[in-house]
Structure formats: structure tokens, C-alpha cells
Copies of this chain bind each other. A is one copy, B any other.
Amino acid sequence: MEKVNIGLLGLGNVGIGVYNILNLNSNKINVLSNKEIVITKILVNNLNKERDISLAQNMLTSNIDDILEDSDIDIVVEVLGGLTPAYDYIKKALQKKKHVVTANKAVIATYGKELLEIASRNNVSLRYEASVCGGIPVISTLSNALSVNKFEELIGIVNGTTNYILTQMTDFGLDYDDVLEDAKRKGFAEADPSSDVEGEDAAYKLSILLSLTFGVEVPPDAIPRQGITNISKEDIQYAAQFGYKIKLLAAAKQLNNRLEYHVCPTLIKKNHPLSSVNNEFNALFLKGNAVGEIMLYGKGAGSMPTGSAVVSDIFEISRIMGSTLNPTVPIPMNNPENYELVGNGTSEYYIHLIVEDKPGVLGMITTCFGDAGISIDAIVQQSRGDQYVPIVYIVHECPRVRLDQALSAIIKFKEVKEIKSVLQVRK
């Protein structure tokens, strides 16, 4: 059986998952790929660190050139994370005509097109299944089975940390800050959770998904994003009253050649399949013009699930190695439908205001919505005898720009103390 030699960059959480899966399932993987897949070198920072797995000492190196210059290594697997030095290593490995598998969303969202072109010029694969939704095979499904569809809509719960926090707030009526501390203790949130809770991580993933579904190139920082740091348990309770759950969605939809996209906490109807995606789970919901509605659900992070995605890429490359099949992963077409790219487009919205509890205020605010051409779907106002009270509106579909116009008029009233939150609503 032909050997496939792997150089593994990184032996953290995901690297150990990859190592363990290749050992645990080697009989199945080798028979199905008809290759013997072996990790021969591993790049680590500290050669002498104590590790849970026992490795031959000569497998470890702290010098990247021991892998890049080793002509026996067929596939370089990058699981370091972060832009630096991962981007540089991936580029050099491709230039050395080595296939590359990466779990790195930041590198792929930022430099994916350039790296795919380098891979193509060097006639090698660059695969990145693990970069979006961990163990769920979203990249390969979008590139293969579902690619015969034209897509109309994409909605993803692509960040496990925020989904865990929102689920716990919903299920136990807890405050954001308390759940965040708990999530840190349990390993569901990092010590500095800002990239997750502010929607940056989700924007990386949406950028990658947009290229695969709609063939458009939208850099992560061009995606309008709103995090979950302002979501209160009251918002979650109001949403529940209206029959919704709040989820952080990475979403895109096309309408009359406009393509709208954003990352935003969103009220989603309780009977929508995405509303049952809880805690650390991820899911991608799509509407294709042939397949209709489809959803892929699973674990978006973790050593073994993410390792599963990395190993599936290694497996796919191994299967085609030695044949004349072009190993290049197709570079997504460049905006084939000529979409006009629009950040925040139109949506229904949920607006939570804090206002003085006195006659006439409701009328003033409602008039502002009317002046901006926005019609109201539902209102909740609960007078509690306090000086300030919350008012919650759900308004019918309107352009975000018109909503902002109404809100800028509303906030000028001295009776309006605060716009507590503005969230999207999806029926």
C-alpha cells in the first residue's frame, strides 16, 4: 500500500484530535483510501513539553524547514490557528508543491483566493473543511453535492461560544455576564472572548461561506456585524412572548440580483429548525433552487469533531494522489450572477426602547416609525409604576437605512432614555 506522509503543524487541541483519529480509525481510513496515512513530523514550539500522547522523540521538531524541505512529506496539515505564521507556512508549503489541509478560518477568509491560486499553479490541493462549523462537512457538501444548486438563502449558527451563551440565557433566565463567566470556566469561551461575542469569528466564517454559495468575494471586515454583548435576559423574554428565540446568525439572501449579508443577533421563530440548535452546536441552513431547504447540524468545535474535518480532507487528498485527476479545489467563480453586494439590507426588526412612563410617548414614537414609512407588527409596553419603562416594537420588513432614520428621530425626544437593542427578526 502506498504511503502518504503527513507533516503536522501544531499539536494543540485540534492537532491531538487529528493524531488520535488517524490512530484510532486507521484500519478503516487506510482501506477506504487505499493508502497508508502516517504522520511523520510534527512542528511544536516546545520540544520538551509534557504531552498526553507518547511520540517518538524524532517526530517532533521546532524548525518549520524540517517539514517544508522534507521531500517525503506529501501533505502539510496546519492547525496552528491565527494569521501569523500560519499564512506564511501554508504559502511556502504550496510553493513546495505539497498539498495543504488547514483548519484556519482567519487565513482562508483573508487570503483564501490568493492561496487557492497558488495551489492551482502548483497543481496541489488546498482544503479547509475544518475552518467553518468544525466537524460538520459544510465545505465539501457546498463544493460537491450541493454545488449543482443555485442558492437563495444561507443562515448559519457558526459560533459555538455565542450559541452556548444565548442558550443558557434562554433556558435558565440568566444574565449575559454570569453565563460568560460560566462558559469560560467550562472551556466554551476563551479568556478574551471578544472575537466570538462581537461576531468577528462569525464574519470570517460567513466570508468563506459566501464565496462557496454565491461565488462572491466579501472580506470579513466588509460584513456588517453586531455581537451579543448587549443582549439582555429581558430581550430573550420578550422574544419568547412573541414566539421567537434569539440566535446569533451569519446570514445572506439574494433578492432580485441584490445579495444581502450580515452577522446579527436575530429573533427566529420557535418552529424553525435552527431554533433547536442549542449550546455548543452549530448548523448551516440553506435554500437551494433544486434541493429546497436543507440543514447540516453538528459540533462546531472541539478536538475530535474538528479533527474529523481535518482528517476527512487528508482522506480526500490521499484518495486522488497518484492519479491524473486535477487535485485543485475549484476557485469559487467571481460573482457569476453579478450580484449587487449590500451589507445590511431589509429585514423585520425588534426594537427595545427605554422611555419615560407618561402619556403621549407611545404616540410620538409610533409617529416617527410612520414618518419613515415603517409599519408596526407588534408592541409590548408594560407600565410598572417606575419612571422609565421598556417598550418593545416588532416592525415589518423595511430597509435598515429607514429604520436608522426613524431611530435617530426617536432618540432626540427627551422622553426616550435609551435604545437598548435593535435586532433582526426572521419569520
Contacts and interface: CB of A to CB of B under 8 A. Distances in A.
A226 interface: no
Contacts of A288: 308
A330 B148 contact: no
A421 to B, nearest CB: 27
Given A32-B330, A315-B148, A294 B290 contact: no
B135 A292 contact: yes
Contacts of A330: 32
A325 interface: yes
By size class, the interface of chain A is 35 or more
A292 B304 contact: yes
A27 interface: yes
Interface stretch (A138-146, A241-249, A252-260, A393-401): A138-146
Counting chain B CB atoms within 10 Å of each CB, the highest count among A25, A31, A148, A320 belongs to A148
A273 interface: yes
Nearest to A290: B308
A147 B28 contact: yes
How many copies of the chain does the oligomer comprise? 2
B336 A325 contact: no
A308 B325 contact: no
A193 B31 CA distance: 41
A136 B140 CA distance: 14
Contact of A140 (B144, B281, B289, B323): B144
Given A17-B290, A145-B129, A336 B27 contact: yes
Contacts of A292: 135, 298-299, 302, 304-305
Contacts of A307: 290
Interface in A269-323: 271, 273, 276-277, 281, 288-299, 302, 304-305, 307-309, 311-312, 315-316, 319-320, 323
B276 A147 contact: no
A294 B299 contact: yes
What 5 pairs across the A-B complex have the smallest Cβ distances? Answer: A137-B145, A294-B298, A290-B308, A323-B325, A325-B325
Given A28-B336, A29-B147, A144-B315, 20 more contacts: A24-B150, A24-B289, A25-B148, A25-B149, A32-B147, A135-B292, A137-B145, A140-B144, A141-B145, A144-B144, A149-B308, A271-B276, A288-B308, A290-B307, A291-B299, A291-B305, A294-B299, A295-B298, A296-B296, A324-B324
